[in-house]
Structure 1
């Protein structure tokens, strides 16, 4: 987390969108992309109560059977998924971060066309997968604008759970002059024009080393579309819950200077530190073997592990939203989703069902009483609410683990999290995330958890 008002990718995104110039979308890994499938339509939209967000996820055996498969097949079972059945060809990929060139077999799956219940200015994908050594995957999006024209195919991530085969990466420089991809976010360049994304399809490309039988397995693929209005303030919600979840507490600051190759070290690790807290809340943790690479003198080595395995080599940081959700899903029977919520009332619904959330916000030091810092972008974990309705958060921007638990005033927290516009330390207008959060929860949620997730628009 930047401890002062420094430019973040979200601030840069806003400025860049305003000045975006026409360009060309980055293609798939190498050869021409697969032919466009028939426009079969999704039949399972999921719309949050706020009316500003649309979530759609493909997670069931029926879902995977419903897409257009070229060399992939659906796998039934307790946790249905998608795997390589028979590769359709090979591609050459030169990793821009290692300059290593390799040939990979590939197969694809393309989702049905999903009509957005909320014509959107932004879209963020999420995926949950297992990528054994010798495999990786790519996620792409194409869509239709409100004027009936189509976007290009945009790459939303090239990802592997490990880093031995490729470096997980976002792809810069993707734009058609009307929309662009900024690290992990598809964005309409000029929302004020009225142009919106009204439908989309996602495409998975699964890769493996030639001649092997190993395959990625994808359990979840989806996207969150949203149209959050420009706003410096948001309506206040009424407190409705007093409850606190017992979530482990980890400080990013105790890792300052450690492993600077991952975004300059722990002082920037708010996102993976928050992710690790919730992973461990659900009873999962890296093994001793997985942590063997970490200096034994470092405390909380699992935080270093989370930073390494969420790191986006193009963005140069650990704060890629989908990469964090995908990291959580590498632990047994966990799911991870990036979404937006509309109020603290929705967060209360989740907390009441035992589901903590990681929220993304930016603020001046004076805007969040008790924080002691200002930031252009920071992640923290909401774990409950006091009897007065104030927010109980595990804030990784704390001196040590013991200081991580904080109580923040409800009205202040709600506003800095949900707004899309703010004034930075220089007095200039800057961006806010508009309620972005990560949700991690079991692959087989309880009835109560399913109801809570459905109530905030997540399947």
Structure 2
């Protein structure tokens, strides 16, 4: 039956359609309230800067870890443990990201544990040992670990597929941060933000269509960069530029916000190379255990090493949510996978690819700065809205050989500067990001 016209009111029994239940809950800890509310073992909330941060106040222990040269070394450490947090959405996946200021000689260990809906609590599961550079330690995710139902793999804590299908969910979680430095050092490693995106990821190969929203006809200015300009360069970082979609996308958005590495940080790059800042970003996001530059939290953490920059990894539930950010002048970086032909205009297949969503056409199609473009002129593209939201938001897909593949379910990096204007802060607030 057609919708009632304004002259024909709805029958008394009609009810407004209900919004779909949320599947993502982003919990952010920062400021005094975020750090005071936790267990401190040698850490403290420092209030002397622009906003309170978590710092190593006095060493409470030591731990051993190889340094960047592989030599076993003892490090001073202090630890902060979050209180248990019960997400609004009982989750099948947790994505943990952080923003930290780590001077030379300092690094951060991130661990998580979760309570399962069927009773048991996991042990503390390492996620990462991270540093702002690779000169003190080789930043690395932890080897896969977990129990019979919940496991960590590279950058995600997830309920195993069989357990998720049986109804097992994460009902609460804790994060433990260990701040480390060389013995006797006076440098104070600090953590500014901790974010955990808890998702009850729908198992789906198709997603509901969305209507064009607030960013219709809006396109943000993003300097175009091609990952293929660096093909074959520095192959010890994930084979070179052909695999650098994530750091190239990150570099584009950082440049859009006016953030560039210091000249001295690029001294190691061959001066004959154009766009040396992309090589720098690939090195700084490289996960030395996993062997790639696409570790989601590592990319957010690197973005936040630039003065006045903030970043989180989260999931968005629709293109309308992405439009909320773009309409406010905040391009985002999305993760998707697809077979050739599934995203018209792409011209390639991928098991996992990052690109920048920088705008929307007047018809609501997606304006993307895709680092897979072979040359700067081929980076900015328009992808059909319906096809794009499918390959970004789905979690199951059929590969060309008939086997089943996965999708990110709406994973994205969101970056914003401290100087964000009220419109941008409002958009972030509406999405629970801050």
Shift of 1:94: 2.9
Task: Select the residue among 396, 405, 417 that pairs with 1:421.
Answer: 396
Closer, same or farther in 2 for the Cα pair 1:441/1:50, shift >3 Å?
farther
In the alignment, is residue 248 of structure 1 matched against residue 223 of structure 2? yes
Equivalent position of 1:218 in the other structure: 191
Equivalent position of 2:205 in the other structure:
232
Structure 2 counterpart of 1:405: 380
Which of 68, 75, 100 in structure 1 is aligned with 2:71? 100
Aligned length in residues? 411
CA–CA separation in structure 2 for the residues paired with 1:349 and 1:364: 28
The answer on whether the counterparts of 2:144 and 2:154 sit within 8 Å (CA) in structure 1 is no
Q: Deviations over 1:142-174 (max 9, x none)?
A: 121112321110111110000111000011131
The alignment partner of 1:433 has SS state of: coil
Counterpart of 1:25?
none
Task: Provide the rounded CA distance (Å) in 2 between the counterparts of 1:198 and 1:63.
Answer: 20
Task: Give the secondary structure class of the aligned counterpart of 1:317.
Answer: coil
* Highest RCO, 1 vs 2 (Cα 8 Å, sep ≥ 6): 1
Give how far 1:436 is off. Answer: 0.4
- The within-5 A match list for 1:71-90 is 71-76=42-47, 77-90=49-62
* TM-score calculated relative to the size of structure 2: 0.93
Instruction: Give the TM-score, by structure 1 length.
Output: 0.88
Of 103, 126, 142 in structure 2, the residue corresponding to residue 171 of structure 1 is 142
The CA deviation at 1:49 is 8.4
The two structures, once aligned, show a CA RMSD in angstroms of 1.3
Q: Give the unaligned 5+ runs of structure 1.
A: 1-47
Given that residues 116 and 198 in structure 1 are in contact (C-alpha distance below 8 angstroms), is that contact kept between their aligned partners in structure 2? yes
> Which of residues 204, 229, 233 is equivalent to 1:258?
233
C-alpha contact 1:50 1:342 (8 A) present in aligned 2: no
Deviations 1:32-86 (A, max 9, x none): xxxxxxxxxxxxxxxx986100111111112111111110111123232111111
Whole-Å separation in 2 of the counterparts to 1:50 and 1:249: 37
Aligned counterparts, 1:265-344, within 5 A: 265-344=240-319
- Match of residue 107 from structure 2: 136
The 3-state SS of whatever aligns with 2:78 is strand
**d(CA) in 2 for partners of 1:202, 1:49:** 29
- Any idea what SS the aligned residue of 1:78 has? coil
Q: Contact conserved, 1:124 with 1:186, CA < 8 A, in 2? A: yes
Please state whether the residue corresponding to 2:341 is helix, strand or coil. Answer: helix
Q: Give, in whole Å, the separation in 2 of the partners of 1:443 and 1:198.
A: 33
Gaps of 5+ in 2: 1-18
**Contact 1:207 1:215 survives alignment (8 Å):** no
Distance in 2, Cα, partners of 1:56 & 1:108: 20
1:68 pairs with 2:43: no
Decide which structure has the larger Cα Rg and report it: 2
Whether the 8 Å contact between 1:380 and 1:394 is mirrored in structure 2 is yes
Equivalent residue for 1:356? 331
List structure 1 runs of 4+ shifted beyond 6 angstroms. none
- Structure 1 window deviating more from structure 2 (82-91 vs 243-252): it is 82-91
Residue aligning to 2:364: 389
Tell me the SS of whatever aligns to 2:145. Answer: coil
Could you tell me whether the CA contact under 8 Å between 1:79 and 1:443 is conserved in 2?
no
Provide the rounded CA distance (Å) in 2 between the counterparts of 1:155 and 1:352.
37
